[in-house]
Amino acid sequence: KVDGSGDALKQIKECNYQQKYLADGKRIILIGIDFDSNSRNVTGFAWEAVK
């Protein structure tokens, strides 16, 4: 997420992007990365295992 407030992982979970992969039986890890366009750097990183 660019210029977000540290909520990239929250957005992934709210949009339920992982849903279509749940039936595959593989381990799913959600990764949220926040970027700052002014400093052109990563400002936040979060992950969560779903399955």
In this predicted model, what pLDDT tens digit does every residue of 1-51 receive, in sequence order? 788 777 888 888 999 989 999 888 889 999 999 999 999 999 989 999 987
Q: What is the pLDDT of residue 32?
A: 93
Q: What is the pLDDT of residue 51?
A: 72
Q: What is the pLDDT of residue 30?
A: 95
Give the C-alpha separation, 23 to 36, whole Å.
Answer: 35
Burial class (CB in 10 A: 0-12, 13-18, 19+), 8: buried
